[in-house]
Structures are given as structure tokens and as C-alpha cells.
Amino acid sequence: VIGKYHPHGDQSVYDAMVRLAQDFSLRYPLVDGQGNFGNIDGDNAAAYRYTEARLTKTAIQLMAGLDEGTVNFIPTYNGEEEEPEIFPGLFPNLLANGSSGIAVGMATNIPSHNVAEIIDAALLLIDNPHAEHAQLMEVFQGPDFATGGIVAESREVISRAYETGRGALRVRGRFSTGRNADGTWEETGIEKLGGGAWQLVISEIPYQLPKGKLIEQVAQLIADKKLPILEDVRDESDEQIRLVFVPKSRNVDPELLKESLFKLTDLETRFGLNLNVLDASRTPGVLSLKLVLQEWVKSQIEILVRRSQHRLNKIADRLELLDGYIIAYLNLDRIIEIIRTEDEPKAVMMAEFGLTDRQAEAILNMRLRSLRKLEEMELRRERDDLLAEKDELEKLLDSPARQRTRLKRDLNTLRKDYAEDTALGRRRTTIAEASPTVEFSMDAMIEKAPVTVILSAKGWVRGASGHEPLDKEFKFKEGDGPAFAVHAQTTDKLLVACDNGRFYTLGCDKLPSARGFGEPIRTMVDIDAGAEIVAVLVYKPKAQLLLASNIGRGFAAEADELLAETRKGRGVMNTKPGVKLAVVREIPAEHDHVAVVGDNRKLVIFSLEELPVLAKGQGVTLQRYRDGGLADAITLKLDDGLSWKMGGETGRVRTESDMRMWKVARGAAGRMPPTGFPRDNKF
């Protein structure tokens, strides 16, 4: 290759040859390699001085007929040798082994397929050139990858991809086969270990995925705690792939583990089908399966015709010589006499017996031992055989129907080598539509456990396991003190509100432990340097929050709208210089009124219906002030009245049940609160 056909270095040529020998890269390897030719882990082959190679039977079938005038030969890159334009063999390599690439600015991606199915589809087209695409798809199932696996798509999706020449197909690894309780075998991958414990085993991985890379991916997910239901992954492969996934506990749902592996790793990949090929006129185009097969059948018939014509020419040449030999035998004594007596016997023989130059030359070159009597009978038999073959070939060349029949016979012979019951021909990839995916969020992965979230005045956050009393004295760094403490579950999300109107989201499972002082919350979310945290709440789906600023404006916000996917948080209340978010409170479902108190110690109560629900904004005026601003805001049920704690050790609660005299329209100035209302103006 390097010396004659391709101006490339040994590295690229050897790499290409290695790939042709790998049974996990090529569905039907074209090179039979001896030595280390790499493995599915992604390890490289040995250096080429250590390996040996020869062609496989498939490659020989692909090149059959090169010396029979079947294809055009063109000069090699340096003009010293000649090389065939294409290989004439009957083996359908384009679809059987697939292809990717072509050239700059021209992409193609063809998966490998099963030869028996390709031949069956081609035979169908030879018999009925007008066959519908759907008829072809009855015998042609779809990709058949070297590494097996499962194409998790419906027949309709696969059929549409091959009809248009483009499409994306999901390829999944295969779980090993296990025995069910009723004695049947099924590809569940679940191996029972006794005592209710189990593990998941994978026996095939998607095409072109190095096994080592998959294991690294899974190990990284475990290290990053992104797959908390998985304990460990082990590679127990020998010649056969065997990847073992150990769940965190036997209570983990196996289907959830499978789905999460498909979603988070390359155990499910997408193969982008792109049937972009160069046709007979070297024009690229995306063809359907039917067109590709039609072009191939057409070219095979052309090759058959050229091979037949080439053979006819050879027969004509041989018959010419045989006719000369037979004339020589009939006139043997005269021929010998001419050769012994004449100075130029060739010209005399040609004149006397009407021989051509080639015939005369062949007679003169005959060996003496060929003059025995037996030879004449053999010559006549050979001549009769050749005439019969010539007659057959002429009939074949004259009849397109005979050409199709001959091609069908040849294809059926080839099919025997790749039949369904042979090791090479057996289908490896299963076509099976995936069951509807188990809808799961990453929260489903987290084990639910109670946790107490503690946030200090200086912004250090931690999570103590269990529900500790919220008034317990937790330890803080020197100069730091308590700010917020809430009860939550590890599956919950925390909403952290800052006075600049931004909300941040923290997962309770990601909090540092309470053994130390925790970590600064600013290492987890990007809170602006000057912003102060005003509230920490546990997110509850479909809940509403009351938001109010220090200038007495506010609105209600849906908790679902406050969740932020990123560290940057989500801007909810628009603030400008001097304006800050001051109050964030959850609105219980039974509450129907809003109470607002100002720094001027005036109280106003209005209906909750007057409070708009906004996704973001400044809000509406809740209370009017001449000077000062908003001290606190809360929601209440008017019939229950307003309650507040009394000062002192007793911890008594005082309730003012009749609050109707404070009820006015939203935006009023309000009046002094009931007697005994807390001096700090906080509800």
C-alpha cells in the first residue's frame, strides 16, 4: 500500500488495516489478524512488526473478478501502477460494513447491516423493481452493529429513516440474560445475589464506545454524587463483556437505575444515519435504501456483463489456437516436412494451410511430446466445451432476464456463507422499541432524610442530620451568630432570598455537614458582594410567597417561578438604589387578607385578592407613607384575627380577634395597631 497505492505514512495505513481486522469495529472483518490487534477497551494494537495479517474470505469475495475485465483500472497516484476504480465482488460492503466520512465538506454515516437481509432485499428488487419501500423493510430490519446492542426505536421510525436516507437512531447496551422465577429467560440484567440483594449486568455496549470510557463516566457520576442510587461499577469482562453495576441498596428500583444509566451515560447513544453516497457518475446524494440497492444491482449486472464479454474474448482467442492445432494434427507429416526443409517455415505453412500468424506461431512453439495421438481427442473435446460455453455466454449477453436469473443464483450462493444459522451471519443487534421511559428527576435519586438547615449571620451554611430544635444554641465562629434555621428533608430545595430581589436555589442534599461550621453560602451560589440574605424557605410546589420591599410595594409570587437552575439565581423583585426586598413569607392556602405595618407604627389590612400575582417586577403599593417605610408584612385569615407573642419569660400569645376596623383598601395610610402590639413593629 505505502509503496504502490497510497502516498501515506505507515502509521495511518497500519491503523486502517488494524480497524479492518477488529471484529468489534467491522461487522464483517476484511483482514484476518494474528497477534494483538487492540480491544474494545480502547487499547491500541501492537506495533506492526509484531502482527501478521491476511485477507478474510469476505475480502476475497469482495475482490473476486479483478482479473476478469470487470472494472476499469486507473493509474495510481504516481502513474507507475494501475489500480481498480472499485472492487467488483458480489459482497455488498457499503451496507454490510457501513461507512463514515467521504471527504472535506461531505459527511456520510452508514451503519453496518446484516448481509442475509441485504441480499433478501436485493432479491426482492430484482424480482420486482417496483417494490414499495414498506415491502423492503419487511425483510430488511435495520442496523446490525458489530458490538450488538439494541436499536431502541419503533419500526416506523427506522423505516422513515431508510426511506429518506436520514434519521437518528437510539442505540443502547444490552443487559445480560437472566432466568425468571417461572423458568423463562429474559434480558433483564438483574442477577439475584441472595438475601434480596441484586446487581445489574451488561453484556453488550453501543457501537464505537470504548468500554474503558463508559466505566470512567459511571465512576465520575458516582464520585460527583450525581447517581446516588449506584454504589459501584466493576469490569468483570474476559472475551465476553461483563459490566457489573452494584446498587446502593436492594430497595433501589432496577428500572430507575437502568433509565438513569441510559440518561446520564453513553450506555444510550444516538447514531445519525446519513445515506450520502457517490453514485455511478461520482455525484454525491442522500439516497433511500431502495435507490442504494437499485444502483448496486445495476452495477452488479454491468460487472456480470463485462465478465461474460471478457470470457467470450478469451474463448475466441483459445478457439483460434485450437483450430490451428487441429489442422496441424490432420496434416502432421507435411507440417514436419516443412519445418525440416524450409528456411522460413512460418510463411510457407500460412500460405499452404491458410493459418493466421498466431496459429502458425503456436504450432512452431509446440513441444514434440504434444504430437501423440491422444492429444487430438483432447483438443477436440476442449473445443466442443468452449463452443458450448460460448453459446451460453452469448445467450446471457443477449437476455437481461437471464442476467437477472444468474445474479440471483450468485447472490443465493453468497447468502449461504452469511445465513442466519452461521456464526458470522447471525443477527447481533436487536430491533426493539423502548418502553416509555420512567419519568424521573434527579431528586428521585436522593435518599429522603430529615435535615436541619442552619445559616449564620455571616453567611455560613450547614445541614445537621435530623430535626434539631430550632432554638437550640448551635456553635458559630467567633464574631458570627445565628440568622436562619429551618427543618427540611434531603430531597427538598431551599429558596434563599436576598435584599437585591434575587432568589437562589440550593439542594438540601448538597449542604456541608454540621460537624464543622459549614461553608460560606457564596461558594455554592453567586450572591452579589453587597447583598444581604433576608429569608431562607423550603420550596413547596404550587405555593405562593408574599414579597414586600422597604418602600411598601409588593406582590405575590409563585414558588415554582422562583426556582433557579444556575448559580446566578433568578431576579424576581426589581430593585433600584435605596429600594430593598424586606419581607418574604409563605402564604398559607386558608389565608385571605394581608396585614402591613410601617416604621410609623401604622397598620393596614386589605384583601389578598387585591395583591397581584407576578413573575417579576416592583409590585404595587401596599401602604402609603409620609416618612419612613415598611416594617413588616404578613398574611392572615381575617376571622381568626391577628396574634403576636407577648414579651417576657411567659411566652404568652395575644390574639386580637376583631380586626375589621383596620381593614381598608390597599395603599391606605392605616391607623395605630391594637394595644400591646410588639414595639419592634414585627408581626
Active site residues: 50
Query: Residue 6's CB: how many other CB atoms inside 10 A?
Result: 14
Q: In what order do the strands lie in the sheet with 630-636?
A: 603-607, 593-598, 630-636
* Per-residue buried b or exposed e for 210-247, using 16+ beta carbons within 10 Å of the residue's own CB: bbeebbebbeebeeeeebbbbeebeeebeeebebbbeb
Residue at grid coordinates 444502483:
295
SS (H, E, C) 376-434: HHHHHHHHHHHHHHHHHHHHHHHCHHHHHHHHHHHHHHHHHHCCCCCCCCCCCCEECCC
Q: Residue 301 region, left (φ>0) first, then alpha (ψ -120 to 50), else beta? A: alpha
Separation CA 474–CA 456 (nearest Å): 10
CB 623 within 8 A of CB 670: yes
CB 224 within 8 A of CB 510: no
Question: Which residues, in sequence order, are bridge partners of residue 169?
Answer: 271
The angle subtended at Cα 620 by Cα 614 and Cα 624, nearest 5°, is 160
Q: Quick one: CA dihedral 34, 38, 39, 40, positive or negative?
A: negative
Q: Residue 177 region, left (φ>0) first, then alpha (ψ -120 to 50), else beta? A: beta
Residue 203 dihedral angles phi and psi, to the nearest 5°: -110, -15
Nearest C-alpha neighbor of 96 from the set 105, 107, 87: 87
CB 58 within 8 A of CB 425: no
CB 626 within 8 A of CB 600: yes
Contacts 24+ apart (CB under 8 A), 395-404: 396/304, 396/308, 397/305, 397/308, 397/309, 397/312, 400/301, 403/301, 403/304, 403/305, 404/126, 404/301
Write the CA distances from 488 to 114, 318, 493, 642, integer angstroms. Answer: 56, 97, 8, 27
CB 126 within 8 A of CB 119: no
Nearest C-alpha neighbor of 634 from the set 577, 576, 572, 677: 677
Separation CA 172–CA 147 (nearest Å): 11
Pairing of strands 150-151, 430-431: parallel
To the nearest 10°, report the CA torsion of 532, 537, 543, 549: -20
Residues 6 or more apart from 65 whose CB is under 8 A from it? Answer: 71, 88, 89, 303, 307
CB 548 within 8 A of CB 622: yes
